[in-house]
Amino acid sequence: MSGHSKWSTIKHAKAITDARRGKLFTKLAREIIIAAGQGGADTGMNIRLRMAIQKGRDANMPNDNIERAIKRGTGEGGDADQMVEFTYEGYGPGGTAILLETLSDNKNRTVSDVRATLTKAGGNLAQSGAVAWQFQQKGVVVVNADEAAAEEFTLVAIDAGAEDFDSFDSTLQIFSPPELLEDIRNTLSEKDASIVSSELSMIPTSTISLDKKTALQTLRLLDLLEDLDDVQKVYSNADFPDDALEQYQEEE
């Protein structure tokens, strides 16, 4: 999982750079919109909305943006957004499994964009169920922590129910059952942990090791997929070698 976890950390760092912040805020707003539309604006009763708002705040999304997204989702002041969630599955270079979560008001447009992007990179769109079985939903909390702090937070998270851990570049990734995500985040916050993000994510049950050339092809494909307007999240079971990740990290 090491190369996979490093990719997740680098990807998050890239996403919050100024060049990508606008697109990131758009995707976060869409998640808030659909969460509010499905469960209402009461965060005490709507767990999904509460988590979506927290994710927005972790990314320094302005409160005005968050409030507007909630109102759009509930239809306050006008019709609610008619976006629908779709999940797509596919294969990338080297036979890597790719799972995509999308929000769209036009399924035909979304599937066309996803298929074209995969095909250009030497991949292909797969039928429903082809790769989803290779992933499990987990809670993931990412914390800024040096080695000493990581050891402390690991013990705290274990007591709160965490299942697994991975560290890279002064960050600690904590994996948990989905239902314990908020409890673990709150417990770490009480210990003054510097939390980068917390979210539900699809984690591969096993990974495929790639050579550098194939890894770079896959990394660029995953970036292209994430840049599609309708795509919210991209997951892969690829395990990337360090030299590929170093080159990827330097690319704009």
- Residue 157 forms part of a structural domain: no
pLDDT band at 14; cut points 50, 70, 90 = low
d(CA 68, CA 62) in angstroms, rounded, equals: 10
- What tokens were used for 94? 């080297």
Read off the pLDDT of each residue in 203-229 and give the average, rounded to a whole number. Answer: 93
Q: Which residues make Cβ contacts (< 8 Å) with residue 156, sequence separation at least 6?
A: 187, 188, 191, 193
Read off the pLDDT of each residue in 184-201 and give the average, rounded to a whole number. Answer: 93
Give me the pLDDT at residue 78, please.
60
Q: What is the pTM of this model?
A: 0.88
Percent of the chain with pLDDT over 70: 92
- Residue 49 forms part of a structural domain: yes
- Residue 31 forms part of a structural domain: yes
Q: What is the pLDDT of residues 97-108, one digit of tens each?
A: 999 999 998 999
pLDDT at 18 over 80: no
- Residue 52 forms part of a structural domain: yes
Q: Write the CATH number for 64.
A: 1.10.10.200
- Residue 91 forms part of a structural domain: no
- Residue 68 forms part of a structural domain: yes
Task: Calculate the average pLDDT of the chain.
Answer: 89
Total tally of structural domains belonging to the chain:
1
Give me the pLDDT at residue 80, please.
54
Give me the pLDDT at residue 15, please.
63
Read off the pLDDT of each residue in 74-101 and give the average, rounded to a whole number. Answer: 86
Nearest Cα to Cα of residue 205 among 179, 242, 235, 241: 235
Give me the pLDDT at residue 83, please.
82
Give me the pLDDT at residue 23, please.
81
d(CA 56, CA 49) in angstroms, rounded, equals: 10
d(CA 77, CA 227) in angstroms, rounded, equals: 30
pLDDT at 1 over 90: no
pLDDT at 128 over 90: yes
- Residue 11 forms part of a structural domain: yes
Q: What is the pLDDT of residues 41-77, one digit of tens each?
A: 999 999 999 999 999 998 889 999 999 999 988 888 5
d(CA 39, CA 74) in angstroms, rounded, equals: 9
pLDDT band at 16; cut points 50, 70, 90 = low
CB 249 within 8 Å of CB 216 = no
pLDDT at 201 over 70: yes
Instruction: Find the domain containing 28 and state its range.
Output: 2-74
* DSSP calls for the chain: -HHHHHHHHHHHHHHTSHHHHHHHHHHHHHHHHHHHHHH-S-TTT-HHHHHHHHHHHHTT--HHHHHHHHHHHHTTTSPPP--EEEEEEEE-GGG-EEEEEEEES-HHHHHHHHHHHHHHTT-EEE-TTSSGGGEEEEEEEEEE--HHHHHHHHHHHHHTT--EEEEETTEEEEEE-GGGHHHHHHHHHHTT-EEEEEEEEEEESS-EE--HHHHHHHHHHHHHHHHSTTEEEEEE-EE--HHHHHHHHH--
Give me the pLDDT at residue 35, please.
92
- Residue 29 forms part of a structural domain: yes
